[in-house]
Structure 1
Amino acid sequence: MNKLKVCGDSPRGYEYYLTKNQYSQSTITVHNLRIKRFKSWLKMYGLTETQLDYGSLLQYAKYLQTEKSYQRSSVNNELRAVKLYYDYLIDQGEIGNNPAEQVTIRGARTKVISNLLSEEELEDLYYSYEIGHHDTFFKAAKLRDKVVLGFMVFQGITAVELYRLQEEYLQLRKGKIDIPGTRRSNSRTLKLQPVQIMELMDYLHETRPYLARKINTGNSEQLIYGSLDQLHTITGRIIKNLKKYNRKICSYGQLRSSIIVNWLKRYNLRQVQYMAGHRYISSTEKYVQDDLENLHEIVNTFHPLK
């Protein structure tokens, strides 16, 4: 077998790929160190990148635990770096599949996520949220907050993604929204709920221009005006108000966890990974509620580390 031509041997190419995918410089440095360790192991065992398969990767995991005394969490971090490296090689057209795609070493039992809200409870929060006010400015702010609430309870959008939303990302005629990726999440396109459409139209045509004049936003293209800190303030105020409608409400994270768990009841793991914007399937697996000792079919079958 011919040795693979690896663009990753040029740090600049791999680092550019990581930078393009919004990884921080500190994370890039760590990934480079992990891939250096991985390549050293390949060389020690006389393997090339093209010869790596699932079984070989499990041997690498075993080597990290037994020879390097890595804990399971550290082994999984190393395996994620390998997966990302192979994603890069696929991106460069060097290989056709990723041997690390499904590899996760099972560790301690996942903690059950508690105090979740059903789809009906999430919908009730949106329908119940009051936007009336005698003052024009406060009424506009309340409508903006309800638009934000819709993104929270129907699309599970995070505060950082909310900050990056622009008007052009809305596809109201198609009933969809493009959610931008961040350093920690992937971009995706999700459906808007019919109940969101009318208030989004009112917000775009009347409320948003009004708020732009009042708070002097300049030429900002943001869908929801404000700095990241200001958007955290908005979402914090929304959570506080929601407690009037449902005493179970405690945090923004609780809403997002509820949405993801509800999605998992209707869609498969890969679909929910996409909808939630998770970079790694392991992030989605944490929300599986049915059998927490068996999060993934691949992990059920292969147990390389005892």
Structure 2
Amino acid sequence: MVWQSYIKGFKAYLKLERSLSDNSVDAYLNDIDKLSQYYQSVNSEPNLNEITISDIKLFISWLHNLGMLGSTQARVISGLKAFFSYLMLEDIIQNDPMALIEAPKLVRKLPDTLNIHEINSLIDAIDASKPEGMRNKAIIEVLYGCGLRVTELTELKISNFYPQIEFVKVIGKGNKERLIPIGGVAVKFIDIYLTQVRVHQQIKKGNEDFIFLNRFGAKLSRISIFNLIKNLAVHAGINKTISPHTLRHSFATHLIEGGADLRAVQEMLGHSSITTTEIYTHLDRDYLQEVVTQFHPRS
């Protein structure tokens, strides 16, 4: 592919000017690679200025024929839009073939959530007699109490924990910092873990500032948090497929159903667009049915 120098420039643009994480940058580059794969499949490699909207439509049909889901197609189209916008910005091309391309219309699936009874069951399933028990209680309280992403939890640092004012500072997507209120219960369990459990661990060099450590004294991995949640759900008898993100969904849903301001929830979740936060404005179906039954004259 003769576009490598432009892709290299695009990569630098994403990292330096847009401050995207390595994972996000890789996702964009994978989107461009899909276009490269398409042209290889048709034995063609046009100049970037020669690609037209018709070519892009044929490429999207190729993605569809591969059996690619609409959500994945939308992701690829979004990545290519960013790439060709960059090329226009740098005056590498004169016409943007993506300008009139629309992503597939997606049905937005409401995220799974846990009710407060299920949250309590999850916490009650933790064996507090084990050395990691208090750490795990603190983890669940922080995930649900602050709505953190799993990476934000594993990267949480003692130096960014302010128990006196009940706030934590996290580094979110794009290395953006945000302050999030943390409830008194979560503060209590973190304090117990730090002062009664973690203080007795031998900590690996370079991991001294991370709050949550594994039994080897190193920062917890993402997969260990996923396994923790999965195992707790089994022990709690929760028949749902849940993950750390489920607790984030539950945090947002419960706040909004309780009357929290959408902008405030957006800020706490670290969403760049309020449209993303709006998926949490759904209400429980049983509650809606109860409202109709109670107030509709024909119910």
Q: TM-score category by the smaller chain?
A: 0.5 to 0.7
User: 1-side partners of 2:135 and 2:106: how far apart?
Assistant: 42
| 1:79-112 deviation per Cα after TM superposition (whole angstroms, max 9, x unaligned) | 9849x98xxxxxxxxxxxxxxxxxx989233234
Partner residue, 2:109: 111
Considering only aligned residues, what root-mean-square deviation do their CA atoms show, in Å?
4.1
Partner residue, 1:218: 205
Does 1:258 find its partner at 2:257? Answer: no
User: 2-side partners of 1:235 and 1:196: how far apart?
Assistant: 19
Partner residue, 2:151: 160
Instruction: For 2:21, give the aligned amino acid.
Output: Q
Partner residue, 1:209: 199
Partner residue, 2:189: 199
1:224-239 superposed matches below 5 A:
224-226=212-214, 230-239=221-230
| 1:60-91 deviation per Cα after TM superposition (whole angstroms, max 9, x unaligned) | xxx97x99547993697279849x98xxxxxx
1:94-105 superposed matches below 5 A:
none
Instruction: For 2:109, give the aligned amino acid.
Output: K
2:180 is aligned, of 190, 206, 209, to 190
Partner residue, 2:89: none
- Name the SS of the counterpart of 1:244 in structure 2: helix
User: 1-side partners of 2:20 and 2:157: how far apart?
Assistant: 19
Partner residue, 1:122: 119
Contact 1:186 1:278 in 2 (8 A): no
Partner residue, 1:144: 135
Give percent identity, aligned residues only. Answer: 17
Partner residue, 1:22: 21
Compared CA separation, residues 67 and 282, structure 1 to 2 (3 A):
farther
| C-alpha displacement of 1:171 | 0.6
Range that drifts further, 196-205 or 277-286: 277-286
Contact 1:172 1:197 in 2 (8 A): yes
Partner residue, 2:265: 272
User: 2-side partners of 1:118 and 1:164: how far apart?
Assistant: 27
Contact 2:166 2:182 in 1 (8 A): yes
Instruction: For 1:250, give the aligned amino acid.
Output: T
Instruction: List runs of 5+ in structure 1 lacking aligned partners.
Output: 1-9, 34-62, 86-103, 292-306
Instruction: List runs of 5+ in structure 2 lacking aligned partners.
Output: 1-8, 34-51, 61-69, 87-101, 285-299
Does 1:241 find its partner at 2:232? Answer: yes
| C-alpha displacement of 1:260 | 2.4
User: 1-side partners of 2:188 and 2:118: how far apart?
Assistant: 21
| C-alpha displacement of 1:277 | 2.4
| C-alpha displacement of 1:273 | 2.5
| 1:124-153 deviation per Cα after TM superposition (whole angstroms, max 9, x unaligned) | 543x244442xxxx3x31111111111122
Range that drifts further, 227-236 or 269-278: 227-236
User: 2-side partners of 1:118 and 1:165: how far apart?
Assistant: 26
Structure 1 residue ranges (4+ consecutive) displaced by more than 6 angstroms after TM superposition: 10-14, 30-33
Instruction: For 1:207, give the aligned amino acid.
Output: V
| C-alpha displacement of 1:122 | 2.3
User: 2-side partners of 1:269 and 1:105: how far apart?
Assistant: 26
Contact 2:15 2:21 in 1 (8 A): no
Answer 1 or 2: higher relative contact order, Cα 8 Å, separation at least 6: 1
| 1:134-179 deviation per Cα after TM superposition (whole angstroms, max 9, x unaligned) | xxxx3x3111111111112222223211221111111100011112
What is the TM-score normalised by the length of structure 2? Answer: 0.58
- Name the SS of the counterpart of 1:188 in structure 2: strand
